[in-house]
Amino acid sequence: MSAPLRVPVLLTLLVVCGTTAVVRAETPPINYMLQCQGCHLADGAGSPGAVPPLRNLVGKFLRVPGGREYLIRVPGSAQSALSNRELAELLSWIIRRFGPEQDAANLAPFTAEEVGSARGRPLVDVDSVRRDLLRRIAARDLSSSGPEGP
């Protein structure tokens, strides 16, 4: 192959390979690392008093009405630079990754349409909505764990 032909071929390969690398980087674990991990930490532990934990808690929001929507509408989700599809995949991954296990097993994956509909209405009073949802989760868990268990 002559030198003048090599340059366009090499440029084409670089563009194709570079595009492929970018697409592969848009996976939920990478997006978690780039968008969430700085505050929620790699293990989902959060920072007591400052950043809520995800580990063994995030999936519980699916147990009560408004919980799925809350996860989409919190500022970190609603205002992220991720597309609706990427955010839907990330939220589904977070629940599978951080559980609890029974909630992850019953997860109906988030959809881009669902995310697009809810994220246009970001939460203003995040703390009070979160407190209310956590109270409802606790009440539901308490009522379902009678003498026969959950």
Q: What is the mean pLDDT of residues 17-35?
A: 71
**Percent of the chain topping pLDDT 70:** 79
In the predicted structure, residue 145 carries a pLDDT above the cut 50:
yes
Q: 9-144 maps to which CATH number?
A: 1.10.760.10
- pLDDT band at 80, cuts 50/70/90? very high
Give the residue from 145, 150, 133 showing the smallest Cα distance to 62: 133
pLDDT digits (tens, 9 = 90+) for 95-124: 999 999 999 999 999 999 999 999 989 899
For residue 97, what are the contacts with CB-CB under 8 A and spacing of at least 6?
32, 44, 104
